[in-house]
A and B are shown apart, each in its own frame.
Chain A
Amino acid sequence: MIRVQNLVKTFGSFTAVNDVSFEVAEGEIFAFLGPNGAGKTTTIKMLTTLLQPTSGSISLDGLNPKTHHNQVRQRFGIVFQDPSLDGELTAWENMELHGVLYHVPSKIRRQRSEELLKLFELWERKDEQAKKFSGGMKRRLEIARGFLHTPRILFLDEPTLGLDPQSRNQLWSHVKRVNETEKVTVFLTTHYMDEADRVAHRIGVIDHGKLVAQGTPREIKDSTGTETLEDAFLKLTGDNIRDESASSTDQLRQFAKMWQKGGR
């Protein structure tokens, strides 16, 4: 369903994604794990037509996002890591807008919007502007919206960030449900290793833009000789803390480069 070969993305002199290759089969739940700044979101952006790769190839359902962006966009749905709601619109209007953009027929749109808003406990406040919601509620709305249409591939970029355990639970059971009943392929990232262990069929671990391990949760634990996925993850990626952004020296170097270019 997803095939990525030798994918590279550089920002100036900084390489965010470095020669990554993997495949995700149809109907599979694939978890893409890595510390902050590892290159997960950048990879998802390239898969979802938001960024052009520097080099390498991508195929989604046999299509190249670069040349067939419209057909590719018809095949996936996404819950972004960063906010993507229109805060001026109400919860209901955000759902409506999404449903229309994704060509969900109006009857199904209303019915599913109601179901999803109830499922994620937003129904009572559906007529309030999204900007007035708490962080967790906004997150829930993003997720509810993401499930409004049924795509062939669903991208979830740290969907559980800032969610309470109840909502997290709802989310994963819903993901499993659409995966089982509708054969939706799921590509997700998360920092909660137990979640990945529970829902993912296969896992890829990325660090500093490089894919460092790939396999079923069992295989990954076995190959690192660890008991839990958390331990395996720490063993693979080391235990020093990462920053989301490029290191400050990297940024300085990049800045100097831009400066030189501009000066000439």
Chain B
Amino acid sequence: MSAIYILWWRELRRYTRSRAQMIVSLGQPLLYLLVLGSGFGHVFQKAGMGNYFQFISPGVIGMMVLFSSIFSGLGLLWDRQFGFLKETLVAPVSRLQIMIGRTLGGATVAVIQGLIVMILSVLFGFRPQNWLAIPAAIGFMVLIAVCFAALGTAIGSGLQDMQGFQLIMNFLVMPIYFLSGAIFPLTNQGVVLSFITRLDPLSYGVDGMRNVLGAPNAAFNPVVDLIVLAAFGFAFILFGAWRFSKIEI
């Protein structure tokens, strides 16, 4: 237990130490909120889809949580390169505990980042149907964060260098984001696209947030969102733990 706690604490410590990075990482979601939010608003409304800013806010929150959590999972790569990974791998603690500590730490950081984006979106005019829905939305953020921190760990366990990292960012993380319905509605899509979006865990996370926050164009039932996302999270933790236990230095 103490091992899980200390590794969780380490992730938070690193986060609070790197203010610059924290601020830089908020740039992208801000851009999406402000540029997309105001640029598409008109077309969106005309198409009878409702208020685009209301629609995209949960999507951008989901994006922040996705990027931050998967980034922290992939942080394994840095720990490998700077050598700290070895220190944890020889410690008399099971690799499962190490993996869980890291994952929960990365997930916590991601949720904090998501909350900051949520606050920003409210400042810019986002209004949930009911302020009491916020805890439920945070619940979805936690699930998204755990899901992708674990997936990041699973992938990071096999990465040896920066090239691999770039590849993952471009060919996995960006598609996860774009195909999740974060920026366009999942309703009324063609068969192929709607099939692919249903394989994307983030779809359920963002949709879940839309459901509880009362944002327009939610596609599934919130209970379905919850169950599917939790199942993905569980599977990714098992997968990540297994991959992590196989690391050789």
A48 touches B90 (CB 8 A): yes
B87 cross-chain contacts in A, Cβ below 8 A:
80, 84-86, 98, 101
Given A51-B249, A52-B248, A84-B84, the answer on whether A101 and B91 have CB atoms closer than 8 Å is yes
Q: Tell me the residues in window 140-196 of chain B with beta carbons closer than 8 Å to chain A beta carbons.
A: none
Q: Tell me the residues in window 55-96 of chain A with beta carbons closer than 8 Å to chain B beta carbons.
A: 70, 73-74, 76, 78, 80, 82-89, 93, 96
B5 cross-chain contacts in A, Cβ below 8 A:
100
Q: How far is the CB of B80 from chain A (nearest CB, A)?
A: 11
A73 cross-chain contacts in B, Cβ below 8 A:
90-93
Residue among A48, A76, A82, A100 making CB contact with B6, cutoff 8 Å: A100
Q: Is A224 an interface residue (CB 8 A)?
A: no
Which one of B11-19, B36-44, B58-66, B110-118 is at the interface?
Answer: B11-19
Number of interface residues of B (CB under 8 A): 24
Chain A residue with the shortest CB-CB distance to B3? A101
A50 touches B14 (CB 8 A): no
B79 cross-chain contacts in A, Cβ below 8 A:
86
A101 touches B92 (CB 8 A): yes
Q: How far is the CA of A41 from the CA of B79 in the complex (A)?
A: 19
Given A84-B87, A85-B84, A88-B13, the answer on whether A74 and B92 have CB atoms closer than 8 Å is yes
Q: Is B82 an interface residue (CB 8 A)?
A: yes
B83 touches A85 (CB 8 A): yes
Q: How far is the CA of A162 from the CA of B92 in the complex (A)?
A: 28
B248 touches A70 (CB 8 A): no
Given A88-B18, A101-B6, the answer on whether A78 and B90 have CB atoms closer than 8 Å is yes
Q: How far is the CA of A74 from the CA of B82 in the complex (A)?
A: 24
A87 cross-chain contacts in B, Cβ below 8 A:
82
Q: Is A97 an interface residue (CB 8 A)?
A: yes
A93 cross-chain contacts in B, Cβ below 8 A:
13
B90 touches A88 (CB 8 A): no
Chain A residue with the shortest CB-CB distance to B15? A88
Q: How far is the CB of B124 from chain A (nearest CB, A)?
A: 32
Given A88-B17, A88-B18, the answer on whether A100 and B90 have CB atoms closer than 8 Å is no
Q: How far is the CA of A56 from the CA of B64 in the complex (A)?
A: 49
B2 cross-chain contacts in A, Cβ below 8 A:
100, 103
Given A50-B249, A70-B94, A88-B17, the answer on whether A80 and B10 have CB atoms closer than 8 Å is no
Q: Is A45 an interface residue (CB 8 A)?
A: yes
Q: Is B51 an interface residue (CB 8 A)?
A: no
B91 touches A50 (CB 8 A): no
Q: Is B26 an interface residue (CB 8 A)?
A: no
Q: How far is the CB of B101 from chain A (nearest CB, A)?
A: 10
Q: How far is the CA of A73 from the CA of B93 in the complex (A)?
A: 8
B88 cross-chain contacts in A, Cβ below 8 A:
101
Q: How far is the CB of A94 from chain B (nearest CB, A)?
A: 9
Q: How far is the CA of A88 from the CA of B2 in the complex (A)?
A: 21
B248 touches A51 (CB 8 A): yes
Q: Tell me the residues in window 75-100 of chain B with beta carbons closer than 8 Å to chain A beta carbons.
A: 79, 82-84, 86-94
Q: How far is the CB of B42 from chain A (nearest CB, A)?
A: 45
Given A84-B84, A85-B84, A103-B2, the answer on whether A97 and B10 have CB atoms closer than 8 Å is yes
A50 touches B90 (CB 8 A): yes
A97 touches B249 (CB 8 A): no
Q: How far is the CA of A52 from the CA of B17 in the complex (A)?
A: 36
B84 cross-chain contacts in A, Cβ below 8 A:
84-86
Q: How far is the CA of A96 from the CA of B84 in the complex (A)?
A: 14
Q: Is A21 an interface residue (CB 8 A)?
A: no
Q: Is A237 an interface residue (CB 8 A)?
A: no
Could you pull out 23 A-B pairs where Cβ atoms are within 8 angstroms?
A45-B249, A48-B90, A49-B89, A50-B90, A50-B248, A50-B249, A52-B248, A70-B94, A73-B90, A74-B92, A78-B90, A80-B86, A80-B87, A82-B86, A83-B82, A88-B18, A97-B10, A98-B91, A100-B3, A100-B6, A101-B3, A101-B6, A101-B91
Which A residues are closer than 8 A to B by beta carbons? 45, 48-52, 70, 73-74, 76, 78, 80, 82-89, 93, 96-98, 100-103, 129
| 6 further interface pairs, Cβ-Cβ under 8 Å (given A84-B83, A84-B86) | A84-B84, A85-B83, A88-B17, A100-B6, A103-B2, A103-B92
Q: Which 4 A-B pairs have the closest CB atoms?
A: A101-B91, A74-B92, A100-B6, A84-B83
Which B residues are closer than 8 A to A by beta carbons? 2-3, 5-6, 10, 13-14, 17-18, 79, 82-84, 86-94, 248-249
